[in-house]
Amino acid sequence: MTSTAERGPGAAGAQHPTDVLLARARGARRARHLADVALAQATVGWVEAHPEQAVLAPANAVAYAADTPAFLHGDRPLELGGPGSPLVTEAAVVEWAAALGMSTDAGRAFVGQVVELRYRLPRTWAAMTRGTVLGSEDELVLADAEALDHALPWFKARLVARATLHLPAAGADFVDAQLAAVAHRVGPAALERLVTEALVRFDPEAAEQQAIDAADTRHVRFAETTLGHRMVDHTGVVCVDATLDVTDAADLEAALAQVATELRESGHTGSLDARRAAALGEIARRQLQGRCPQHPDHPAAPTTRDLTLYLHVSEDAVRAAADGTAASDQQPLARVEAGPGSLGRLGGGFTTLEVLARWVTESPAGTRITIRPVIDQRLPRHAEAYEFPDRLKEQVRLAEPTCVFPWCRRPSRRADVDHVRPHGDGGSTSTANAAPLCRTHHRAKTHLGWAYERAVDLGGWRWWTRRGRAYLVTPLGTTALADTRASAGTAAVA
């Protein structure tokens, strides 16, 4: 008897047990692409429903009179696509981003890419929507499965859109014409070359300015997270990237070698790379503390480092870790909230007691570490004035590490402390009536029709859009709620 494998793949009636899985994969790929295109089509409809004219409509003439709060701080048209694409109102973008489960910044980028594709890259848009048609009530349906299998994937279309946003209309059209038939096979490097060619051809002045700007590429950057701020983690280290003049680099190299040698002679047992890294911090501290490296015959006192931390562990636990006497079952993680001092620019996060011990005992600097107890969030505080005093702001920001708007993850230390119920409506200046809102979402609450309240029963914050759609923000994230209300203008603090 001959097995299926012996008959070969072309044998009649032969079907591998995994063929059904391949069919499911093809079906899932088609469904995903249909969903991507449907979302893009819906975004176009949303943009067309909220054009620039919506802000300056006759009905808004009084509200948007010159020098009024709405005119100065309220809704405004945004150019999210490239030059010549239609504008869309900011309030519409904020609401659409929340509906898609995105931060406002991510939503702005998403809407901008859709606008760029639909209105400035029509050939690329056609390649992406191949095999689909809009049916009744503008519902996207599959028209040709084989054509859809050869449609331009959504991620590739977005890559093209991001690259052409800064081009003039003629340049975007040039890229669109060149790429429409071959976009599937074009990688980021080839796309960048094509976009550069379009810039030189159709906007030579901008290309010249770009060349001038590129002549000065010097920088020193500290690695950032996708949230836009650096975080302390279990490693206790951060990446520094720098591009220097050759002469500056040579001087830095010599200084690092000299100080690394000094550290070795003073007892530092780390590798050469570790000593060079420590030397860079030592050079910085010498500069900040006025120690002059030009006079080695007059050594100054050892440099010091000041760290002020809010630790969700006790000071005894940190000292025990530094002394090597920590219990084996002791909690190894500590939440770090940076206060004033050298760590203040690094944000917060989690690290281990071992890293804290290293900062205290292994650093070439004499480390002074101040460990502040966590402020009791259950203790209410209030003030009589409109402005929140520092002690109230500190408690609010420790309680809420990020902006409490749906999907927003901007750190609360960069945010405003807002009266949940407006002070003019009787809202108190107290921790019970306070929340951190980044400037964008503070404006959304004040001028763009959003409202919120503290949802004590749900352990978070309940938000409403201007149309009454509801969201719940908790430490676990954002959830769209089924309940809505007709008017969000009566939000109150629970």
Using alpha carbons only, how large is the chain's radius of gyration in Å?
A: 29
Domain presence at residue 29: yes
Q: Where are the alpha helices (DSSP H) in 54-187?
A: 69-73, 90-99, 104-120, 122-128, 145-149, 154-164, 169-179
Domain presence at residue 317: yes
405-443 pLDDT tens trace:
999 989 888 899 999 988 888 888 888 899 999 999 999
| Backbone φ and ψ of 313, nearest 5° | -140, 170
Domain presence at residue 131: yes
Domain presence at residue 486: no
Q: Which of 428, 422, 434 is nearest to 395 (CA)?
A: 434
Element (H, E) at 446: helix 439-447
Rounded Cα distance between 126 and 278, Å, is 56
Same domain (yes/no): 206, 119: yes
Same domain (yes/no): 262, 355: yes
The encoded tokens of residue 486 equal 């007709």
State the total domains in the chain. 3
Residue that terminates a domain, selected from 341, 372, 403: 372
- Which residues in the chain come in under a pLDDT of 50? 1-2, 4-7, 225-230, 298-300, 339-342, 344, 486-494
Rounded Cα distance between 104 and 98, Å, is 7
pLDDT on residue 491: 39
Same domain (yes/no): 169, 297: no
Domain presence at residue 296: yes
201-254 pLDDT tens trace:
888 887 777 767 666 677 787 765 433 444 556 666 778 888 876 678 888 899
Same domain (yes/no): 176, 253: no
Same domain (yes/no): 290, 183: no
Domain presence at residue 494: no
Same domain (yes/no): 256, 353: yes
Same domain (yes/no): 275, 416: no
Same domain (yes/no): 409, 459: yes
pLDDT on residue 278: 87
Query: Do the beta carbons of residue 394 and residue 434 sit within 8 Å?
Result: no
Domain presence at residue 447: yes
| DSSP single-letter state for residue 78 | E
Query: Do the beta carbons of residue 132 and residue 143 sit within 8 Å?
Result: yes
Domain of 258 in residue numbering reads as: 240-372
Domain presence at residue 123: yes
pLDDT on residue 28: 93
For 96-126, b/e burial (b = at least 16 CB within 10 A) is bbbbbebbbbebbbbbbbbbbbbbbbebbbe
What is the number of residues in the chain? 494
Same domain (yes/no): 25, 157: yes
Biggest CA–CA distance in the chain, Å, is 94
Same domain (yes/no): 203, 58: yes
